[in-house]
Every structure is written in structure tokens, then in C-alpha cells.
Amino acid sequence: MTTKLHDLSQLFTSGAAMWPRFAKDIQYGDSTFIGIHSTAWGDFNHPGWYDMGQGFPFNQGYCPMGAFKWWGHLHAGTHIDAPLYAIPGGTSADKLPLENFHGKGVIVDMRHKEKWDTITAEDFEKATPKIEEGDFVVVNTGWHHWFKPLGHGDKAYEYFHYYPGLVPSAAEWLIEKKVKAIAGTWPVCDHSLCFAIPKWMPWLVNDYKKETGKENPKEDIEGLGDWEECLIMLLKAGIACVQNAGGDIDDVTGKRMDFAAWPVNMEHADASMVRLVGIEE
Amino acid sequence: MAKKYYDLSVPVGDFTPDWMGHQLMQDTCLQRVHRHEIPIEPGMSRQVSEYIGIWHKGTHFDGPTHHEEGSPTADQIPLDRFYGTGVIVDFRYMKKWDVVSVKDLENANPKIEEGDIVIMNTGWHHYWRKNDYIYYNHYPGLYTEAGEWLLEKKVRMMGGTWGATDHPLAHYPLRHMYHGLWDEYKKETGKDADKEFPDYEPCHQMFSSNGIPAFENVGGEIDEVTGMRCTIAAFPFRFADAGHMTRVVAIVDN
């Protein structure tokens, strides 16, 4: 029996795309990377550490040490949101059962969806291959191609503001189907326009107005939810929510296989970066 | 077929112990940030914690760039390295400063087969957060010979319930770098640690240059699966860095 592993995660590196609103708290331009630091060993290469003229083993075949430091939130790159993120008193990432993040499932093709299209219960109902009860559902919207690091134009704008996403009736469908997890090539499972709230993302409201001449997307998009309404529904139902899927997803879209996406064991964490992997036996 | 999952990782958070004496290393801090500003309904909020610290905390692996500048970043290690069948061997009979020998590895139960993932249980995870001094300075560990044996066995991935992949006395010229531990060893054994352990981090370098992920600070529910052969998974998130914390999971088919 051979196992084939498919990487369905986005590569996170310096300058990787981040939620625009987080720019307020962390430097968006530099992302949250401080970069390579010789944190562990750098300072030891100091005259004080030389003994009787003998050099520190850096020049005796010993290697300098590089280690990354992180200063920032945990919703970066491919990650899961824990209930604690959106539900006060909810479960943190480290306390979620491991079986919630591994199991059989399917990658459904939603690449026909265009800018600001909604993903509905009907889309899930008609999806091929069929979504079964208890599945780990991965949705390919095609939007992962816009997940571009800085220096590649402003393409991350499309990624965070135009992606097709779920409306609450679709989340309801997933809950009724008792799916194990929902992953997608989106910044969050909720439709991009649920964030079009003047106080929060005025530029998105302006963008929508410019394009459609209308003020409030809720008035003309059927069933559009509130701010992260689907995410909260899914988290309350104990469904794992994986955001920013991508990687080699196009190679395996339309297939059934096992999936895994375990969060890091970090106390009180409201999210965790994960590796979303497709496991084909 | 029902599966049972065992968590082989230790929790990370505030007050997570780490290597001693690292001047630039800053304490890990998980800062809770509440947002109450979302104008949808009163009382609605989000929690967005921020992690401040080094990635090599808790249960983590060291990527090649941890040791060699310009070598591949952690995301370039093939996924196959982090998933497969493996054994969790029982080294809980080992005592303070024991060196894992070739004999220990050959007689391990279950037998270590070629291409296995090998997780070694020294029992030292019980000191995690209980006695950091004993945890980081006294654990039984690997040295050159054991490392070479594991390399010959072409292990896919390895890990242990210890502070680091190499023996606690085999990291640097101890007398210069960590005089207290050198003294302690001298007092107890009458030997010079720098003469007994002349290689610095041999296993770290061996594994990292051969693309074998080496997990440190394994623990959690490991005692429940020690002595078993099962599926082990430890997929690290896809960051271009020098290694980082990862959930290590043992999957047992019932």
C-alpha cells in the first residue's frame, strides 16, 4: 500500500498575504515575520566567550544556528479558527479533539464561481463527488491563486475582498449533513461581502458601490449573512474550519481521500496554523 | 474502522520552559487581545491572541536552516517525512545522563525496521513544567553512535521525550558555555564532560543534513502508546523557516 500525500496548504513566507484589517495591529507590509535571527547563539560569538585565545566552535566546524521568531496572531496562512476566536468562553485550539481534524472527505470544485458569487446549499447538494455524512469537505474556489505575497502587485486585494463564500443557508446544510470539517481556498468561509460594513471595511463598501451603484450588498444578495455568521454557526456545531487552503489543490480537486489538519498544542489559542494534507492510500 | 488518536505533544503557552542561558531568547508570551468594536450587535467580540517568541518551543522539530545557513527551509522537507508507520520505543528504564547505545536501539521493542518513524520515550516528559532543571540537563539522550545507527536504518522521522535531539552534555564546550553543569558532571562522575562528549550536537547535524525531521519535547499521552507500532503523523504548518512547533499524533486502529 502506497500513500500519496498532497499538500493543500499555502506557503507562508515573509510578506505573505494577511487580513487587511490586521494592518492596524501588526505591520502588514512586513507581515509578522521578524526574519531569521540567530536568537539562540548569536551573542555567544563574543570575545567574552573566548577562553585563552581559543575561538568559539563556530570556527571549529560548529554551525551557527538560525531560529525564527514570531510576533503576531495565529490566523496566518493556512489555519484553523477555534471556537474561542468568535465565541466567548469557547474551546481553544489545543483542547479540540484530534479526531476533529482527520478523516475521509472530498474536494469539491467551485472554480466556476466568480467574484462575489455565493456558495449555497444547492451548490453543496449538487457537488460531485457527492458530499457524504461525516465528510471532511474541502472547497476549491480557485481563489488561492490570488494569495500572493507582497511584491507581486496588489493581488492580495482580490483574495481578501472578492472571493466567493458561504451564505448561512449553506452553513446550515453542512451542519445538517454532520460534516467533520470545512476547508476552503478562502480567507474565511463567510462570503467576502459579509464584511462590507462602513465602519469596518469602508473601502470594500466603496468598491461595491462603484461596481453596482448600490450601498448595501445585503439588500441585493440573497441570504447574505452577518459578519462571520457562517463561521460562528459552524464552530458552534463543532465543525473544524480551515481557512486559506491552497497548495496543490488543483491537482486533486474532485477526488475523495483522507484529510488531516491538526492544530498546534498551544494553550488558550483562538487559532492555529495547520498543514492541510490530502492523504491518498 | 474506528481510530483512536493520541496526542504526543506538550502544551505551549506562557511559562513554557526552554533552553537555559540563551541571552537573546525571550520568554514566550501568548497575549490575549479582545476586540469589542465590531458593530453588529452589542457584546460581540473576537479573541485574537498574539504569540511572541521563538518557534522552537514545546513539541517542535528543527529544520535544516536551524544549523546551516542557506540550507532548505522547513517547508521544503517532503511531506512523506512526517507521516507513516512507526514505533514508540520504551527507554523509560534509562537514568540521568544515560547515553542511548546501539544495543538499546537493536533490542528495542517493538523492533525498529528500516524506514520507520522512531519515537523514543525516556519518561523525561514527566519533568516538563515540573522540574525544568532536571528536564533540560539530566535527560538520557542520543550521541554520535546512536545517531549513526538510526541514519543507517534510514528512519523517516524521529523524536524523543527530551529537551533536545542530542545528549544534554553534547551541545557545546560545556566548561565554557555552561560551567555549572560541567561541575555537576565532574562531581558526580569524576569525568570531564568535554572529553566524554567531544562532538557538539552530532545528531542534530546528522539528521538535519540528511533531511530527517527530529522532534524534541515529545510527550503528552506517549505512555499510553509506548511499545506500540502505529501510524504517526506530525505535519508542520507550511512556513519557510528553521522548524517550529507541531502536533505529533499517534493513530491507532482499533
Chain A closest-CA separation from residue B98 CA (Å): 24
Chain B closest-CA separation from residue A136 CA (Å): 15
Distances (CA, A) of A106 to A6, A125, A280, B110, B160: 13, 13, 11, 35, 34
Question: Is A167 inside any structural domain?
Answer: yes
Q: Which chain B residue lies closest to A232 (C-alpha atoms)?
A: B46
Question: Is A46 inside any structural domain?
Answer: yes
Question: Is A25 inside any structural domain?
Answer: no
Chain A closest-CA separation from residue B45 CA (Å): 7
For chain A positions 122-161, those within 8 Å of chain B (CB to CB) are none
- Same structural domain, A66 and A83: no
Architecture of domain B3-10+58-166+201-253: 3-Layer(bba) Sandwich (3.50)
Chain A contact set for B50 (CB, 8 A)? 25-26, 71-74
Q: Which chain A residue lies closest to B218 (C-alpha atoms)?
A: A265
Please, what is the average pLDDT of chain B? Answer: 88
- Residue B55 makes CB contacts below 8 A (sequence gap 6+) with A67, A68, A69, A70, B241, B242, B243, B244, B245
Task: Give residue A39's pLDDT.
Answer: 31
Work out the average pLDDT over A212-230.
91
Are B12 and A275 inside 8 Å of each other by CB? Answer: no
- Same structural domain, A224 and A147: yes
- Same structural domain, A259 and A168: yes
Task: Give residue B247's pLDDT.
Answer: 98
Binning pLDDT at 50, 70 and 90, where does residue A8 land? very high
Q: Which chain A residue lies closest to B37 (C-alpha atoms)?
A: A200
Binning pLDDT at 50, 70 and 90, where does residue A12 land? confident
Work out the average pLDDT over A253-265.
97
- Same structural domain, A53 and A124: no
Q: Is the CB of residue A118 less than 8 Å away from at least one CB of chain B?
A: no
- Same structural domain, A39 and A135: no
Question: Is A198 inside any structural domain?
Answer: yes
| Structure confidence by residue, pLDDT tens digits, A35-74 | 333 333 333 333 333 333 333 343 333 334 566 767 778 8
Cell (9 digits) for B38: 465590531
CA-nearest of A117, A114, A203 to A157 is: A203
CA distance A136 to A60: 51
Are B33 and A88 inside 8 Å of each other by CB? Answer: no
DSSP secondary structure code for residue B111 in this structure? P
Stated pTM of the model = 0.89
- Same structural domain, A86 and A42: no
| Structure confidence by residue, pLDDT tens digits, A93-149 | 999 999 999 999 999 999 999 999 999 999 999 998 999 999 999 999 999 998 876
Chain A closest-CA separation from residue B177 CA (Å): 8
Q: Is the CB of residue A120 less than 8 Å away from at least one CB of chain B?
A: no
Task: Give residue A151's pLDDT.
Answer: 58
Q: Which chain B residue lies closest to A7 (C-alpha atoms)?
A: B79
Mutation for B interface: A3, A49, A68, most B CBs within 10 A? A68
Binning pLDDT at 50, 70 and 90, where does residue B180 land? confident
Q: Which chain B residue lies closest to A26 (C-alpha atoms)?
A: B50
Asked if the model's pLDDT at residue A165 lies above 90, the reply is yes
Question: Is A28 inside any structural domain?
Answer: no
Query: Of B5, B40, B58, which is closest to A99 when you measure between CB atoms?
Result: B5
Work out the average pLDDT over B35-50.
63
Counting the structural domains of chain A, the total is 2
Task: Give residue B33's pLDDT.
Answer: 60
CATH number at residue A85: 3.50.30.50
Question: Is A130 inside any structural domain?
Answer: yes
Asked if the model's pLDDT at residue A239 lies above 70, the reply is yes
- Same structural domain, A248 and A210: yes
Task: Give residue B93's pLDDT.
Answer: 97
Please, what is the average pLDDT of chain A? Answer: 82
CA distance B91 to B106: 12
| Structure confidence by residue, pLDDT tens digits, A189-209 | 999 999 898 877 888 999 999
- Same structural domain, A221 and A147: yes
Question: Is A234 inside any structural domain?
Answer: yes
Please report how the helices B144-152 and B202-209 are oriented relative to each other, as an axis angle in degrees rounded to 10.
Answer: 20
CA-nearest of A185, A186, A195 to A224 is: A195
Are B67 and A268 inside 8 Å of each other by CB? Answer: no
Count of H-run helices and E-run strands, chain B: 8, 12
pLDDT > 90 in chain A, percent = 61
- Same structural domain, A252 and A227: yes
Q: Is the CB of residue A107 less than 8 Å away from at least one CB of chain B?
A: no
Chain B contact set for A98 (CB, 8 A)? 5-7, 247, 249
Q: Which chain A residue lies closest to B173 (C-alpha atoms)?
A: A57
Between chain A and chain B, the number of residue pairs with CB atoms below 8 A apart is 206
Question: Is A244 inside any structural domain?
Answer: yes
- Same structural domain, A132 and A183: yes
Query: What ranges do the domains of chain B cover?
Result: 3-10+58-166+201-253
| Domain hosting residue A52, numbered range | 33-70
Task: Give residue A153's pLDDT.
Answer: 55
Q: Is the CB of residue A199 less than 8 Å away from at least one CB of chain B?
A: yes
- Same structural domain, A116 and A160: yes
| ipTM for the whole complex | 0.92
Are A70 and B83 inside 8 Å of each other by CB? Answer: no
Helix (H) or strand (E) holding A236: helix A229-236
